[in-house]
């Protein structure tokens, strides 16, 4: 392990969700001095909200090869094969490791892991806790482990405002509580799905890590791909609008119904297909929501889903719930290799703010929590090999400016589930850099694929199979093939 000669820490981590907690813990357990900075308390993150669970090939009839085949099919010809291989091979061990550390996953009556089914999976392979409270179980246990680890200094309620970079190397993090130097800096700030007005995500999921990384000189990739979850509550004007109803309910038999009460799609197809079917149906029926029929589900399996619906004034036992697509997950982010290394020396990224190419154009359900653990562990090992610069340069002047409410409206209206080039061109002028970057990438991808649907180019172009749109620090896009 390198010694942080002039830096305060070996590793500084920005973000306290599953990815940030795990990389901090794994780096500290390997002997590193770690600082973990989180804007929110450790219990408030998208990870905490995760419902369905983690995907891993654990069933006797399942295999990593089958998990890989499902991931690649959902990713619509764009998954990076090496990243998929790493995930499917290492996810079962990640689940075993979490269990060994006391994370309580649900068990079946024979004491084996109870495995759920979600869209796009050909086998039951979703490990879950408390029915659909997986995120809170995992993050609360990890937060306690991090708090008990003497090598980790936690700075909660502290916002990062920039990376300390001279464009050639990253030297640490600038925060509202002062600068922190480190041999390796890790972005784990989560995704950007809350940039879309209609979202399932916590308000702070605004792509801050990607904005920092681009300003610091790193490449971003796959920004045109946002996953619109098919079943978010449609209760406009209420605080429950956009609330996620986990896909796991469809795995247990919940059905989607149109205005006349008929089923109209395969509820267990990958998310992009179910979302497209709903959008078609809304247009045909002239409605703003379809219905999700949860009658017949075992209430004990999804206690928190049913409790949330009751809080929203719905009685799913009596009547189907109104749902429609909402922005849920951003496949793109800071372009990294299989060890979380970005194109800027000294800067790493893990979790939803990173882009390994694993998810391709459409993430397979429940692969993202698994990704946090599998790639978080690898990045922890790699980050500890970094050596701090003898003399860091002057910190940059640049500071992060959060998006306005107008940007959230613009991103939803101009780069929503169905995109038109003239609207994307309008979004190019948005003052929030990530919004303009989404538009640039979406204009560059001349096709419809996965979470990126263009009304003018409705088909997949096979010439773009495996091609990633990379946005350099010069704001220029380029095409790369990742293996």
Ligand X SMILES: Cc1cc2nc3c(=O)[nH]c(=O)nc-3n(C[C@H](O)[C@H](O)[C@H](O)COP(=O)(O)OP(=O)(O)OC[C@H]3O[C@@H](n4cnc5c(N)ncnc54)[C@H](O)[C@@H]3O)c2cc1C
Residues forming contacts to ligand X in the complex (CB under 6 A) are: 14-20, 37-40, 45-47, 49-54, 134-135, 159-160, 188-191, 200-201, 204-205, 208, 244, 329, 351-353, 366, 368-369, 372
Closest distance of CB 423 from ligand X, Å? 25
Phi and psi torsions of 166, nearest 5°: -105, 15
CA 5, distance to chain mean position in Å, is 34
Q: Which is nearer to ligand X, 12 or 255 (CB)?
A: 12
Closest distance of CB 418 from ligand X, Å? 22
Q: Which is nearer to ligand X, 231 or 477 (CB)?
A: 231
Closest distance of CB 374 from ligand X, Å? 12
d(CA 385, CA 30): 11
List C-alpha distances in Å: 192 to 27, 63, 213, 353. Answer: 26, 32, 14, 8
Q: Which is nearer to ligand X, 49 or 482 (CB)?
A: 49
Give DSSP secondary structure letters for 55-69. Answer: E---STT--HHHHHH
Q: Which is nearer to ligand X, 118 or 258 (CB)?
A: 118
d(CA 373, CA 19): 7
Contact of 247 with 231, CB cutoff 8 Å:
yes
Closest distance of CB 53 from ligand X, Å? 5
Residue 463, helix vs strand vs coil: helix
Closest distance of CB 20 from ligand X, Å? 5
d(CA 192, CA 301): 30
Q: Which is nearer to ligand X, 24 or 443 (CB)?
A: 24
- Catalytic-residue membership of 271: yes
Closest distance of CB 482 from ligand X, Å? 20
The residue from 76, 271, 363, 445 that is catalytic is 271
Neighbour-count burial for 310-320, b at 16+ CB within 10 Å, e otherwise? eebebebeeeb
* Torsion over CA: 336, 341, 344, 347 (sign): positive
List C-alpha distances in Å: 318 to 256, 295, 311. Answer: 15, 7, 15
Contact of 181 with 392, CB cutoff 8 Å:
yes
Q: Which is nearer to ligand X, 40 or 477 (CB)?
A: 40
Closest distance of CB 383 from ligand X, Å? 16
d(CA 56, CA 368): 11
Q: Which is nearer to ligand X, 343 or 354 (CB)?
A: 354
DSSP class of residue 374? H
Q: Which is nearer to ligand X, 379 or 438 (CB)?
A: 379
The Cα angle at residue 285 between residues 280 and 289, in degrees rounded to 5? 75
Phi and psi torsions of 449, nearest 5°: -160, 130
Closest distance of CB 143 from ligand X, Å? 10
d(CA 260, CA 102): 47
Neighbour-count burial for 230-251, b at 16+ CB within 10 Å, e otherwise? bbbbbbeeeebbbbbbbbbbbb
Catalytic residue list: 271
């Amino acid at each position: 392990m390198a010694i942080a000669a002039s830096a305060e820490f070996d590793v500084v981590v920005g973000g306290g969700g599953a990815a940030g907690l795990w990389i901090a813990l794994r780096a500290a357990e390997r002997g590193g001095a770690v600082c973990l900075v989180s804007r929110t308390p450790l219990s408030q993150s998208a990870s905490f909200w995760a419902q369905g669970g983690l995907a891993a090939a654990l069933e006797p009839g399942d295999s990593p090869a089958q998990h890989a085949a499902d991931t690649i099919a959902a990713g619509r010809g764009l998954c990076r094969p090496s990243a998929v291989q790493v995930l499917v091979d290492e996810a079962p061990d990640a689940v075993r490791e979490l269990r060994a550390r006391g994370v309580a996953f649900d068990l079946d009556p024979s004491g084996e892991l109870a495995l759920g089914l979600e869209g796009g999976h050909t086998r039951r392979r979703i490990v879950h806790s408390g029915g659909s409270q997986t995120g809170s179980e995992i993050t609360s246990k990890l937060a306690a482990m991090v708090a008990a680890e003497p090598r980790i200094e936690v700075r909660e309620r502290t916002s990062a405002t920039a990376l300390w970079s001279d464009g050639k190397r990253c030297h640490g993090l600038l925060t509202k509580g002062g600068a922190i130097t480190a041999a390796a800096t890790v972005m784990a700030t989560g995704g950007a799905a809350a940039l879309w007005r209609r979202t399932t995500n916590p308000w702070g999921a605004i792509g801050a890590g990607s904005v920092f990384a681009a300003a610091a000189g790193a490449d971003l990739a796959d920004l045109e791909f946002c996953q619109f979850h098919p079943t978010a509550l449609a209760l406009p004007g209420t605080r429950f609008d956009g609330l996620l109803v986990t896909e796991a309910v469809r795995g247990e038999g919940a059905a989607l119904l149109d205005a006349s009460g008929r089923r109209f799609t395969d509820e267990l197809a990958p998310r992009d297909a179910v979302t497209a079917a709903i959008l078609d149906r809304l247009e045909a029926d002239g409605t703003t929501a379809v219905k999700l029929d949860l009658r017949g589900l075992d209430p004990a399996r999804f206690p928190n889903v049913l409790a949330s619906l009751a809080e929203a004034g719905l009685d799913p036992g009596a009547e189907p719930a109104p749902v429609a697509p909402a922005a849920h997950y951003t496949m793109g982010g800071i372009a990294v290799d299989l060890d979380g290394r970005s194109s800027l020396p000294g800067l790493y990224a893990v979790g939803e703010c990173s882009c390994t190419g694993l998810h391709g154009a459409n993430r397979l359900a429940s692969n993202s929590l698994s990704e946090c653990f599998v790639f978080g562990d690898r990045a922890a090992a790699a980050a500890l090999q970094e050596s701090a610069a003898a003399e860091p340069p002057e910190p940059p002047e640049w500071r992060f400016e959060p998006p306005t409410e107008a940007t959230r409206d613009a991103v939803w209206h101009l780069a929503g589930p169905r995109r038109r080039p003239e609207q994307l061109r309008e979004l190019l002028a948005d003052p929030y850099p990530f919004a303009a970057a989404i538009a640039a990438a979406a204009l560059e991808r001349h096709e419809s694929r996965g979470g990126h649907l263009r009304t003018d180019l409705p088909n997949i172009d096979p010439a773009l199979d495996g091609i990633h749109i990379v946005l350099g620090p010069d704001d220029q896009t380029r095409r790369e093939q990742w293996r």
